[in-house]
Amino acid sequence: MTYELQNRTAVITGAASGIGAATAELLAAAGARVALLSRRRDRLDDVAAKIEAAGGVALAVPVDITDPASVRSAADRVTAAFGPADLVVNAAGVMLPNPIGDGREDEWTRMIDTNLTGTLRIIREFLPGLRAAAAEGRPADLVNVSSIAAHVPFPAFAVYAATKAGVTQLSTALRPELGAEMVRVTNIEPGLTDTELSGHIDNPDIHGRVGEMYQALPALSARDVADLVAYTVSRPRHVNLRQLIVLPTPQA
């Protein structure tokens, strides 16, 4: 499927890899200028080079979304280079499962600060641009990548699930505020997707169980999820796909 996103300016977090990188590539191929936000500069440069080699326009902006000052200066860089963004995709996230009894406050803090508060920091900095686009009658999109884990419990994933339930509820709760101004809010809940996300799990048993899931199921590709992002943001501006759940067909 092809999408028309000429004259759109997009900011994608988590753009160094996985769903964020695939989304950036697809939005750029559809004509959007894309700002790529993540911590790893080398990986952002790789994604930007790939987009530019395909004829797109990309800007790599290293940022740590757990740091408010870093997010603010990233937003300044994007605005200086591209002007205000009218399309924001929050795909940055970490998944650090461990049994709740292990009391891993380091992981809890990192997941909450990245998945939930980091998403809020991005929204705070880029909301004025979304509002301005909507006020001028142009499309304006906020897309949050949550997870099926917001609804479906997995052992040892309680805190990750809580952050993703928070993202889903945040998306729902923002709609009355932003929808009234014609800023679309879309929440996407993917199931098992083939990315680097499980690479940070430090518990060998849980890492093994997640690996078995990837062997048992044909995981979605990052591109499958990116395709939904591109689809939803290219609808007419009065059409808001509020909630998208996408699973590999055999995933219960």
Only one of the segments 89-97, 101-109, 133-141, 236-244 lies at the binding site for ligand NDP (rule: CB under 6 A); that segment is: 89-97
11 binds ligand NDP (CB under 6 A): no
Is residue 20 a contact point for ligand NDP (CB under 6 A)? yes
Contact map string, positions 182 to 221, toward ligand NDP, x by CB under 6 A: --------x-xx-xxx------------------------
- 129 forms part of the interface with ligand NDP (CB under 6 A): no
Cβ within 8 Å of residue 210, ≥6 positions away: 97, 198, 201
Considering the complex, what minimum distance in angstroms separates the CB of residue 18 from ligand NDP?
A: 2
Which of 31, 40, 72, 241 is close enough to bind ligand NDP by CB under 6 A? 40
What one-letter code names the amino acid at 218? P
Give me 112's structure tokens. 């909450």
Known catalytic membership, residue 214? no
Q: How many of the chain's residues bind ligand NDP (CB under 6 A)?
A: 31
Q: Which of 31, 50, 57, 64 binds ligand NDP (CB under 6 A)?
A: 64
**Which residues are known to be catalytic?**
160
Q: Which residues bind ligand NDP (CB under 6 A)?
A: 13-14, 16-20, 38-40, 43, 63-66, 91-95, 114, 118, 145, 147, 190, 192-193, 195-197, 222
